[in-house]
Amino acid sequence: MTAYAWLAMIVTFLSALKAGFLFAFAIVVMPGISKLDDHEFLRCFQTIDRVIQRGQPMFMTMWLGSSLTLVAAAVLALTSQSRIDQVVMVSCAAGSVLLVQLPTTTINIPLINQVQALDIQSLGDAQASEERFAFESRWNRWNTIRTVVTCLILAALLLLMLRIEIG
């Protein structure tokens, strides 16, 4: 099996994990915690994010690994693959960087940091409601965009895998 085929398999696997993670947040986690009152919602999101950011090194491996290997696969595709495979892999890498990583670092993480900075116990009901309002809809909107893009990238990678000769 070629280096490109191995890398494409790793990219597809990591991208599937990322798509599944974002999809689970979009259809289970956020709808579930949306049922909580404002204080509980903020506390719950803080707790979930702390597990992701501080207590789960595999998350960073999956999250960053999927993007880095995708860029590496795109570079390798440019030197060794057919034009259509090059276009697909480069498009997937560009979509990942521009429509997943960039919004994550410029929108989602700053919103999360605002929630993490809150002393929820000291918030009154009105302030908790304001903080939730400032966070929830914008975070969900961008998470939905990231989810759709990541699922489309995964679909393209799966189709690309069908074209790769494993032999």
- Using CA atoms, how far apart are residues 118 and 132, in angstroms rounded to an integer? 11
- Using CA atoms, how far apart are residues 90 and 88, in angstroms rounded to an integer? 6
pTM over 0.75: yes
pLDDT of residue 167: 52
CA-based nearest residue to 48, from 157, 139, 167? 139
DSSP characters for 41-84?
A: HHHHHHHHHHHHHHS-HHHHHHHHHHHHHHHHHHHHHHHHS-HH
- Using CA atoms, how far apart are residues 141 and 137, in angstroms rounded to an integer? 6
pLDDT of residue 42: 98
- Using CA atoms, how far apart are residues 93 and 71, in angstroms rounded to an integer? 5
pLDDT of residue 46: 96
Per the CB < 8 A criterion, the answer to whether 89 and 154 are in contact is no
Per the CB < 8 A criterion, the answer to whether 123 and 39 are in contact is yes
- Tens of pLDDT along the chain (167 residues) come to 899 999 999 999 999 999 999 999 999 999 999 999 999 999 999 999 999 988 688 998 999 999 999 999 999 999 999 999 999 999 999 999 999 999 999 999 999 999 999 999 999 999 999 999 999 999 999 999 999 999 999 999 999 999 887 65
Q: What are phi and psi of 36, to 5 degrees?
A: -80, 160
